[in-house]
Each structure stands twice: as structure tokens, then as C-alpha cells.
């Protein structure tokens, strides 16, 4: 996806994003918020992730800058990111209240005074 004439790229990202550059045959290199430049080689991969949910839509960004020989900037490409938090919360103590940090979430006991989630799985074949 690099523009014609590009021989190198650089990456900048917002604080809530982690970016690694994976160069063929080498260990992943973490990218600082205003990272260095890397050669455009076939098989180079940018891997980015977020470790927490966003406070609003599109609140994080990764920008890739492309450079020609001699370091002249050619173009930029960017992507806006929204981190979505997903959690499986349950009524672990079976009192009718779903709690995010229930101490009984990691264990299970049978009976009226028991605790732990009851999980019902549908294993039938919905579609042939």
C-alpha cells in the first residue's frame, strides 16, 4: 500500500496504542510514540493493539509516513482506532446481581448456598 517511490516508512501513534514492527527474520521492535524509520521490505508487518477501552469513538490514531530516497516525505496514511472492552460478567453468587469483580467468579460450588456461574451451552446444529 506504499506510494510509488517510497523506500522507507515511519510510524507515530497515540498514547493508548502499542505498535510493533515485524521485519522478516527479526524479533518484533516496539515503536516509541514518535518512532524511527524502517526500510520498506516485502513481508514487513505493523502490528498494533490497545490494552484498554476507549473513552470515546476514534480517540486513538496510528499514522504511517512514507519517505523517498534522501528522506524526503512522500505521503501519509492513518487509521483511527476505538478500543472496545469486552468482559463476561456473571451473577457468581446467585443473588440476582451481576458483579464485575465477584470473588466467586473463579470457582463453583453446587447447591442452594453454592456459587459460580451456571453456563448453558447450545450444542445443537442450527444450520445443516
Cβ-in-10-Å burial (0-12, 13-18, 19+) of 67 comes to: buried
Q: Collect all residues with Cβ–Cβ distance below 8 Å to 120 and sequence separation of at least 6.
A: none
Q: Which domains does the chain have, with CATH numbers?
A: 6-81 (2.60.40.1860), 87-122 (no CATH)
Out of 7-11, 12-16, 58-62, 95-99, which region has the weakest mean confidence (pLDDT)?
95-99
Residue 126 φ then ψ, to 5°: -70, -40
Q: CB–CB of 40/7 below 8 Å? A: yes
pLDDT tens digits, one per residue of 51-109:
889 999 999 999 999 999 998 999 999 999 999 987 777 777 778 888 877 777 777 78
pLDDT tens digits, one per residue of 96-106:
888 877 777 77
Q: Is the pTM of this model over 0.85?
A: no
Amino acid at each position: 500500500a506504499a506510494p510509488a517511490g517510497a523506500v522507507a516508512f515511519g510510524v507515530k501513534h497515540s498514547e493508548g496504542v502499542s505498535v510493533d514492527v515485524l521485519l522478516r527474520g527479526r524479533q518484533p521492535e516496539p515503536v516509541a510514540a514518535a518512532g524511527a524509520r524502517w526500510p520498506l521490505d516485502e513481508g514487513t508487518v505493523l502490528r498494533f493493539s490497545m490494552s484498554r477501552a476507549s473513552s470515546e469513538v476514534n480517540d486513538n490514531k496510528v499514522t504511517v509516513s512514507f519517505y523517498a530516497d534522501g528522506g524526503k516525505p512522500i505521503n501519509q496514511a492513518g487509521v483511527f482506532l476505538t478500543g472496545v472492552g469486552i468482559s463476561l460478567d456473571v451473577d457468581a453468587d446467585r443473588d440476582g446481581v451481576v458483579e464485575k469483580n465477584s470473588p466467586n467468579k473463579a470457582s463453583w460450588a453446587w447447591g442452594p448456598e453454592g456459587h459460580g456461574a451456571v453456563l448453558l451451552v447450545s450444542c445443537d446444529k442450527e444450520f445443516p
